[in-house]
Amino acid sequence: MIVDMSYWTRVFTRILYVVLILAGLIIALKLSVFYMPFLIAFIIYLVMEPAIKWIMKKTNVTRKMSSIIIFILVSLIILGGLTWLIFTLFSEASNLLQNLNIYIEKAYSIFQKILENADFGNLKLPDEIQSILQNSTGDIIKTVSQWIKNFLNGLINVVTAIPNIAIYFSITVIALYFLCVDKIYIIDQIEHHLPKTWVMRVGKHLRELTKTLGGYLKAEATLILVSFIISLIGLYILKIIGFAIEFPLLIAIGIGFVDALPILGSGTVMVPWAIICGINGDLRLGIAIIVLLVIMSVVRQFLEPRLVSKNIGVHPLFTLIAMYTGFRFIGIIGMLVGPIILIILKNIFATLIDGGVMKTIFDKE
């Protein structure tokens, strides 16, 4: 039997290429976490860049002056928002943590009430199953309450780490300033120190990745921010006029987080919340939550076609798999990171995917 060494060399080379790309992506993700202030500065810079160009076009000022104007405005907004966010989060998280046991008992009684009112006779469920359903309610609530406790404790630890926040904030602001003012110099230095072929290949991939992933993230971030602001304002209005809403900021953050998850949306939080309020006797609050959800949905449906220019080309099933994989590896945050990594991989391996992964690797042609 004659072994075609040239064929297996090509196969090995293609497999090695895929492995090296995946390893490089893992290293890049690790570095992005390590250099998070610079990554945040770069993301804010991408959002600021259109405003900088707009001022340059309208006023004919230099890029440096335009960058400084936008930089000062954005820095003041971020500083004010961060200050309010820290104090409000600390206050709400501390209050919720102190009264968490009371809310757990309320949730347990509500679920027990639901199970007691459920007509298991018509469902013809065995007594053992009915007993399991009733007994498992406490275990589920205990697990969820432990998650909430861990999240709130972590949140308080982060919020109270003022020196670390100050250092991260300072580095982010300084990095943002240099990115805005010295953009051309930074690009020239990168091109000067890298081989020309690298610059061309990396530049091509970065442009395509910025167009797909950057556009997608920018649009989704805008939509999530709009949903967060509408829910926050709506919840504060409901609180002011007398509805039983004690933690509007924490709830708005939760709604924004769920709204950020592909496939899911703010309705996965607000609809069950409204139903529970209705079952618990507070029908007015349940109706108010549904009205707020309708407002958020209408605004999102109006903005989405204008912000999301086209579909990213990833089937919802693969997005769901990416969310689950991210969750299994790094927890709740992985549900956000998973789909982003999927888009990056789709962009990097576009040629391989279009030709069929296994076919392209093992094809003899």
Q: Compute mean pLDDT per 10 residues along the chain, 365 residues long, and list them.
A: 66 80 81 84 82 84 84 86 81 77 69 61 58 62 70 69 78 87 75 70 69 70 83 90 84 83 77 81 86 86 64 67 82 78 77 65 62
- At residue 314's C-alpha, the angle toward residues 262 and 332, to 5°, is 30
Q: How many CB atoms lie within 10 A of CB 44?
A: 20
- Asked if residues 14 and 360 have their Cβ atoms less than 8 Å apart, the reply is yes
Distance, in Å, from the CA atom of 228 to the CA atom of 234, rounded to the nearest integer, reads 10
pLDDT of 307: 61
Classify 125 as helix, strand or coil. Answer: coil
Q: How many CB atoms lie within 10 A of CB 329?
A: 12
pLDDT of 120: 52
- How many residues does the structure list for the chain? 365
Q: How many CB atoms lie within 10 A of CB 349?
A: 16
- Asked if residues 231 and 252 have their Cβ atoms less than 8 Å apart, the reply is yes
Residue identified by tokens 């006797």 is 281
Distance, in Å, from the CA atom of 175 to the CA atom of 62, rounded to the nearest integer, reads 20
Query: Domain-by-domain residue ranges, the chain?
Result: 37-193
pLDDT of 345: 79
In angstroms, how far is CA 364 from the centroid of its own chain?
42
pLDDT of 116: 62
Distance, in Å, from the CA atom of 231 to the CA atom of 250, rounded to the nearest integer, reads 11
pLDDT of 10: 75
Residue 349 DSSP code: T
- Asked if residues 48 and 74 have their Cβ atoms less than 8 Å apart, the reply is yes
pLDDT of 30: 82
pLDDT of 359: 65
